[in-house]
Chains A and B, each alone.
Chain A
């Protein structure tokens, strides 16, 4: 049995409709109209223990709503969820004892207390044995470099420091699964890289299953073997990242550095999409042309100094899927 099983999961919200016009507000007092929004409209997937998966989708696609149902925060309107044999919203307390949760934009820590005191309180909340707590605190302090700000109140931490503190806080009780909602949002490149390194470390060394939503697809490229793409509350792709690339990324680019900057490399089997000085970008269809054939052709005609084949960017693939649908590309 898989660790996470989600079957035909649904969540709809009803929201009051605002009426326009000056008298709208007064009329609205008397009778309200509601509109039903289907945030998640029948999502199914399974996830094995030890995996690291990205749950992706544009804004409003239902990512966070799904995450909140998986973590027991929201009660689904329909469908079935089981995480490690528990139904999150029904066995909430038992379930959340075994998971860690980080919501990128808000902290789970006590706002006005020093960071270390928040950790101490969490030790009581999760009843973590003292020895284990010390061990974890030491390990995370080293990996995330928490030392310098352990005594600083959470409200005074920078965004990057706070995120590191939140990650440590979510893992102190040795959860089997870590849920991350936008863990790198608003962070600079260095902070982002540190967090990615930490995540792959705890996945590899501790076997923590990680499921994350993100806007930043470089997170996914760096971390996830598995991706689930959703849009309008439905799954539109579920599978390996590599397959996504090979199946949906038909276009590759050959980057050529020419010895002579004045000539434009024109070949029949590829399109010249960009040229800057001696460097040229040639886009080709992987299904009709092999890279080797193209390289041979270019090298035969033009003086070439260097060549590289660029993999398609995940960002472009995903954008393509959202724009044109899975079947088209």
Chain B
């Protein structure tokens, strides 16, 4: 742990407060997320016309799942959000940030956590409320909500570490549009954002379980909706923690490499 905890808390608090000021942005965001949530629900209602369960999920399970994942978009559950780092790399501000007496990684992590905490509590919660009111999305049980708290924090760490690495490719690539595009595809599809992983064919499910993206969206969503037994929850949290640690280590290694590149070539 860094001994400048206070600094990072202040950075996170500022970023939280800044997020509150973009009101037309989050209002538009809620409308967008709710619109797509509704569209998905209409399709599920038609698909489930015969009733029953498919791949273990009922219509209400599928609908609740759709609204949860829509609510997680603004914290990075569907694609990479908040391109602040890559902007600062392109503008050259990154050089100053790298040379400041703080951990560059923790600085951006706190910024991202501050903003995403707001997004989760306001954008996410309001989006989910629309699902509850109009489509009968399920309210989580208190115990599941309790397990969801560490799950979502770990999810944000995995998501941040992944986007941090994608953003840092800008140090080596002239144009990182391609990498971002590809990363977004993986995130959208392999995280369980677009569909519950249970719907995937077995081979694809195995692939998803072997990759970190499920820790960002699929696992916290299943915990939130009470779709996992206590033992499964424990395993899910352990998986998330392992990925968070692994990707953070990778991200820090990439940062060190970027730092060397800056020192040697002056950016």
| Chains A and B directly touch (beta carbon < 8 Å) | yes
A26, B27: Cβ atoms under 8 Å? no
A26 to B27, CA, bound (A): 10
Kindly list the 6 A-B residue pairs having the minimum CB-CB distance in the complex, ordered from nearest. A25-B20, A29-B23, A25-B23, A25-B21, A28-B23, A29-B27
A168 to B27, CA, bound (A): 45
A28 to B22, CA, bound (A): 10
Which residues in chain B, 74-98, are within 8 Å of chain A measured between CB atoms?
A: none
Of the A-B pairs whose beta carbons lie under 8 Å apart in the complex, a sample of 7, sorted by A's number, is: A22-B17, A22-B20, A25-B20, A25-B21, A26-B23, A29-B23, A29-B27
What would 9 more interface pairs be, CB under 8 Å, given A26-B23, A28-B23?
Answer: A18-B21, A22-B17, A22-B20, A25-B20, A25-B21, A25-B23, A26-B20, A29-B23, A29-B27
A3 to B20, CA, bound (A): 51
Chain A residues whose C-beta falls within 8 Å of the C-beta of B21 in the assembled complex = 18, 25
Chain A residue at smallest Cβ distance from B26: A29
Q: Count residues of chain A with CB under 8 A from any CB of chain B.
A: 6
Which residues in chain B, 22-55, are within 8 Å of chain A measured between CB atoms?
A: 23, 27
A172 to B20, CA, bound (A): 49
Chain B residue at smallest Cβ distance from A23: B20
Quote the shortest CB–CB distance from B124 to chain A (angstroms): 16
Contact-residue bracket for chain B? under 10
Chain A residues whose C-beta falls within 8 Å of the C-beta of B17 in the assembled complex = 22
A187 to B21, CA, bound (A): 37
Quote the shortest CB–CB distance from A19 to chain B (angstroms): 10
Chain A residues whose C-beta falls within 8 Å of the C-beta of B20 in the assembled complex = 22, 25-26
Chain A residue at smallest Cβ distance from B27: A29
Kindly supply a per-residue 1/0 record for chain A positions 15-31, scoring 1 wherever the CB is within 8 Å of any chain B CB and 0 otherwise. Answer: 00010001001101100
Quote the shortest CB–CB distance from A303 to chain B (angstroms): 60
A217 to B23, CA, bound (A): 42
Chain B residue at smallest Cβ distance from A28: B23
Chain A residue at smallest Cβ distance from B22: A25
Kindly supply a per-residue 1/0 record for chain A positions 237-280, scoring 1 wherever the CB is within 8 Å of any chain B CB and 0 otherwise. Answer: 00000000000000000000000000000000000000000000
A18 to B20, CA, bound (A): 12
Chain B residues whose C-beta falls within 8 Å of the C-beta of A18 in the assembled complex = 21
Chain A residues whose C-beta falls within 8 Å of the C-beta of B27 in the assembled complex = 29
Chain B residues whose C-beta falls within 8 Å of the C-beta of A25 in the assembled complex = 20-21, 23
A26 to B122, CA, bound (A): 10
A25 to B26, CA, bound (A): 11
Chain B residue at smallest Cβ distance from A30: B23
A26 to B23, CA, bound (A): 8
Quote the shortest CB–CB distance from A93 to chain B (angstroms): 33
A29 to B21, CA, bound (A): 10
Quote the shortest CB–CB distance from A26 to chain B (angstroms): 7
Quote the shortest CB–CB distance from B63 to chain A (angstroms): 27
Quote the shortest CB–CB distance from A32 to chain B (angstroms): 9
Quote the shortest CB–CB distance from A270 to chain B (angstroms): 54
A22 to B23, CA, bound (A): 13
Chain A residues whose C-beta falls within 8 Å of the C-beta of B23 in the assembled complex = 25-26, 28-29
A316 to B28, CA, bound (A): 50
Kindly supply a per-residue 1/0 record for chain A positions 23-62, scoring 1 wherever the CB is within 8 Å of any chain B CB and 0 otherwise. Answer: 0011011000000000000000000000000000000000
A189 to B247, CA, bound (A): 54
Chain A residue at smallest Cβ distance from B19: A25
Quote the shortest CB–CB distance from A31 to chain B (angstroms): 12
Quote the shortest CB–CB distance from A27 to chain B (angstroms): 10
A22 to B13, CA, bound (A): 12
A22 to B14, CA, bound (A): 12
A166 to B20, CA, bound (A): 41
A26 to B20, CA, bound (A): 8
A28 to B20, CA, bound (A): 11
> Which of B17, B21, B23, B27 has the most C-beta atoms of chain A within 10 angstroms of its own C-beta?
B23
Which residues in chain B, 104-129, are within 8 Å of chain A measured between CB atoms?
A: none
Quote the shortest CB–CB distance from B209 to chain A (angstroms): 41
Chain B residue at smallest Cβ distance from A29: B23
Which residues in chain B, 190-249, are within 8 Å of chain A measured between CB atoms?
A: none
Chain B residues whose C-beta falls within 8 Å of the C-beta of A29 in the assembled complex = 23, 27
Quote the shortest CB–CB distance from A298 to chain B (angstroms): 57
Chain B residues whose C-beta falls within 8 Å of the C-beta of A26 in the assembled complex = 20, 23
A28 to B27, CA, bound (A): 11
A4 to B21, CA, bound (A): 44
Quote the shortest CB–CB distance from A14 to chain B (angstroms): 16
A167 to B14, CA, bound (A): 44
Chain B residues whose C-beta falls within 8 Å of the C-beta of A22 in the assembled complex = 17, 20
Chain B residue at smallest Cβ distance from A27: B23
